[in-house]
Amino acid sequence: MFQHDFINQRVDIRDPINMSKASGFLWNKNMMIHINCRGYAVAQFMQPEPSKYSHALNMEAKTFMQPEQSYFAHHSGRFFYIKCLDSGEFFSIPYEPVRAKLDSFNFSVGKDSLIWRINHLELEIQLTLSLPKNDVVEMWELSVISHSNKTRNIAIYPYFSVGYMSWMNQSAKFDTSLNGIVASSITPYQKVEDYFKNQHLKDKTYLLSKHQPTSWCANQPTFEGEGGLHNPDALQLNQLPQREALYQTPVATMQFNHQLKCQEQVQHQFLFGPAKDETEIEKIKDKYLSQPHSFDKARLDYQDYLAQGNGNIQINSPDKAFNEFINHWLPRQVFYHGDVNRLSTDPQTRNYLQDAMGMAFIAPDKTKQALLTALSQQTISGAMPDGILLHEQAELKYINLVPHSDHGIWLTLCLNCYLNETNDVDILTTALPFADSDQCLSLVEHINLTLDHLLNARNEQGLSYIEQGDWCDPMNMVGYKGKGVSAWLTVATAYSLKVWCNICQQHQINQAKLPEYLTAIEALNSAMNENFWDGKWYARGINDDGIAFGVASDKEGKIYLNPQTWAMLSGAADQEQQQAMLTAIDDNLATPFGIMMLAPSYTKMNENVGRLTQKFPGVSENGSVYNHAAAFYAYSLYQNNQHDKAFDVLLKMLPNQDDSTERQQLPTFVPNYYRGAYYQMPEVAGKSSQLFNTGTVAWYYRCIIEELCGLKGQAGSLIITPKLPAHWPTLMVKRNYLGATFIVNYTRSDQTNGTQILIDGQPSENNIVTNIVKGHTYHIDVTLGNSEN
């Protein structure tokens, strides 16, 4: 169970066991840390590629963030042992690794800090983690108050794991001049040229203290001894053994002895992070530990940074918890994705553009820059790359080395949101280069080339080739021989064209290409119906050998969500088909935790589909409640006036008090998935992946602003078309648009037919606010009559 602190915009839990995976994350432009309530952490920083400064005890392969992170005793963590020197009793906070039963526990997730409040053995403890605005360093504060009537002698031992840094060279020692432990390593290399590339790397990890420690230990095996981390040998001694790590595994742990009278308090500040050398560490120390109130100043600067992502809408609905998520947590997650690009130097093109789409509602200049950056890496053929390179040293990695077919469709969707929010028509004539040509063409011509490339990548039936995957990365064996086709991409191409044609018509551009593209939309939708309609829903694709999958005759993976969603968006599905599809989705894909991506989940390899089917049933793309796909579905439902069903899809992405222990998720971010395979493995269904990197949030935010609230920008005007859930009698919204403020009050009335709108007290003939004046505050009253219920 969790509790909302609406005043301070925080979410708390009071049990580290029943919600052991509950977590929060903080980031700045150069680093990220994701830490759970028990003290286990995953942190990385950019140099320029993502790197770690706190490792496990074994050699770790470099990889992307993993779902459902498994924690173990020696997983990277931030712990503090606290020992009563008089009795010998000790425990650890936040909870690991001693796992003592604490008198009270509170883990509080805020936008700018994570706070633990713990009471045990008559000690009141507060532990706070925060980050600065730019520097790569964790800022930890610890306060301890004694409530014992007797004078207490205690020892505090911060234990920050450094882990296995390098098989080539690693060590650690206490540096008196820095008043901290510095662990050093050398990144291994094989090629001589890599030696020179590695010269800039931050191969040191440090833990600095504001106060001088009583003792210290930098040797992990010595600290732990035979007792294990839950009962380390070093804590049996009066003082930590001042042992360096000489190629043994480094650790950063110190000892601080205190004598506390009743109500006496002691406070500590620590810095933990990576550095290139001691000179850099000295600068960090001077900045944050040597200056008065430096932590407070850094926190205020960090709050100012996060305030850039406050979003452009505030809602007040009957659901206070939903308001809290929309007003504070959702734009925060959208901002994280769009401002730091998931801390990647080569984000997948589809992710880069969708994350930028969300930023149109927060910082549209970021969206503009993303569009221009992406299109400047297009080839003259019109093809978009699998990843966008954001640094001169960046290289395509991981999934970006595999050819996917969908990257071009996201350009028009991102551009559409940007134009709706800014009415910046000048971007359309911006001249841009190509990755493989010095020729410069306008953005409109770049988009045309992309769409032409998509239309040319079709077979004789007019179906889109899938290559080694479309939006669904691991669907890699459908078309690897060059013949397989994607139902989803066929209608996604149609929808992308549809959006582009609407843009062209609104702004009276590209008129010569319009007839060609309108004809192509009809052809794509027709091909979808002729080749993929299976009676009650659309198939997912046809593989290289001509075998359709995602059809009723399949025992596993017989129905996929995405083709149904995008067939509604593209216009391929008529009303009768839509009703059949919605029924099939409800019957096969709906769960208490949301809509599954496919069902039944695959239980063994299917070479007609690919490695998707090797994933565990209900995990990730193999039938999980994949929230990105669910967000597409919600958006398509709104487009087809299924308001209540769309809202239900959005609401089920958020944990509630009744299912939070099953999900193990706090309502402070949307994870990329919850476990699916609901009818196959109900005992684990609903469990959160805990991954906050997801394309879900841009679509979620768009659904709220443009659809639920119905405040959509278009060619410099604001269109008012609210789509409230039927059980909401009222809604108040504050929306920023084109420099103006709109305060909109929605009220349901049985005495009114249709929708009535007052703008600044005057009846409006239509639902459009035109001639918007920058700086003006518009007061709009919307009465929803019987036809809207």
Q: Which residues are catalytic?
A: 473
- Cβ atoms of residues 685 and 675 within 8 Å: yes
Task: Tell me how far the alpha carbon of residue 561 is from its chain's centroid.
Answer: 21
Beta carbons within 8 Å of 212's beta carbon, 6+ residues apart: 179
3-state secondary structure of 574: coil
CA dist 563 and 531 (Å) reads 13
Cβ count near 718 (within 10 Å): 23
- Cβ atoms of residues 336 and 312 within 8 Å: no
DSSP category for residue 475: -
3-state secondary structure of 430: coil
CA dist 360 and 471 (Å) reads 22
DSSP category for residue 787: G
DSSP string of 199-229, one letter each residue: GG---EEEEEESS--SEEEEEHHHHHTTT-T
Task: Tell me how far the alpha carbon of residue 565 is from its chain's centroid.
Answer: 22
The two three-digit tokens of residue 228, written as one number:
């294990």
- Cβ atoms of residues 517 and 501 within 8 Å: yes
Cβ count near 482 (within 10 Å): 10
DSSP category for residue 772: P
- Cβ atoms of residues 309 and 331 within 8 Å: yes
Beta carbons within 8 Å of 307's beta carbon, 6+ residues apart: none
3-state secondary structure of 287: helix
Count of alpha carbons within 13 angstroms of residue 519, beta-carbon side: 6
The two three-digit tokens of residue 347, written as one number:
């984000």
